[in-house]
């Protein structure tokens, strides 16, 4: 199988059928690509190949079926991060609909909570000892 066959292609296929369902691409594309490029893709229903989606920032990575061990290593690295990072996803998504003034108090609260964790103390110790931290999720 070629790399091209293994890569995802994105398209607003329903647009070719004259159907406009509620889809995330109508929300995501303007934020990631800008309004002009988003409208171009949505109006033309052109294919967005994986390489182009990576370049534009619509995708952050691609996983080829022949490299599951490397893909697993990437996923496991994210699981080794400190537990306090779990609110980050919610903050990012809520932040899309907030002004900076609305977002900053929540970010400050999360920072204060993270500074009080055992994982933060471990991160500081690891930095000073020039070693990798061993997070425990506390």
Q: Mind listing the pLDDT tens digit for each residue in 104-133?
A: 888 788 778 778 888 888 888 888 999 888
- Residue 138 lies inside a defined structural domain of this protein: no
Whether 74 contacts 61, CB under 8 Å: yes
Same domain, 53 and 86: no
d(C-alpha 5, C-alpha 65), whole Å: 11
d(C-alpha 37, C-alpha 16), whole Å: 18
- Residue 104 lies inside a defined structural domain of this protein: yes
Same domain, 51 and 92: no
Whether 119 contacts 136, CB under 8 Å: yes
Number of domains in the chain: 2
Under the banding of pLDDT at 50, 70 and 90, the label for residue 64 is: low
> Residue 7 corresponds to which tokens in the numbers above?
């890569």
Supply the range of the domain harboring residue 120: 81-128
Boundary-marking domain end, from 18, 34, 62? 62
Inform me whether the pLDDT recorded for 138 exceeds 60.
yes
Q: Mind listing the pLDDT tens digit for each residue in 1-28?
A: 344 433 444 555 444 444 444 455 666 6
Inform me whether the pLDDT recorded for 90 exceeds 50.
yes
Please give the residue that has the higher pLDDT: either 100 or 84.
100
Give the pLDDT of residue 7: 41
Give the pLDDT of residue 129: 93
Same domain, 11 and 58: yes
Whether 94 contacts 106, CB under 8 Å: yes
Same domain, 12 and 55: yes
Give the pLDDT of residue 24: 55
- Residue 91 lies inside a defined structural domain of this protein: yes
pTM strictly above 0.85: no
- Residue 44 lies inside a defined structural domain of this protein: yes
Average pLDDT over every residue of 53-59: 76
């Amino acid at each position: 199988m070629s790399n091209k066959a293994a890569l995802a292609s994105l398209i607003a296929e329903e647009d070719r059928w004259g159907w406009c369902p509620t889809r995330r691409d109508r929300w995501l594309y303007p934020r990631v690509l800008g309004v002009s490029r988003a409208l171009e893709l949505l109006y033309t229903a052109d294919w967005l190949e994986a390489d182009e989606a990576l370049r534009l920032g619509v995708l952050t990575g691609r996983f080829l079926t022949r490299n599951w061990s490397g893909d697993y290593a990437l996923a496991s690295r994210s699981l080794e991060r400190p537990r306090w990072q779990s609110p980050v996803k919610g903050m990012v998504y809520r932040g899309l609909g907030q002004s900076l003034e609305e977002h900053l108090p929540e970010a400050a609260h999360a920072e204060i909570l993270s500074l009080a964790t055992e994982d933060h103390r471990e991160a500081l110790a690891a930095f000073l000892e020039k070693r990798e931290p061993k997070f425990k999720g506390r």
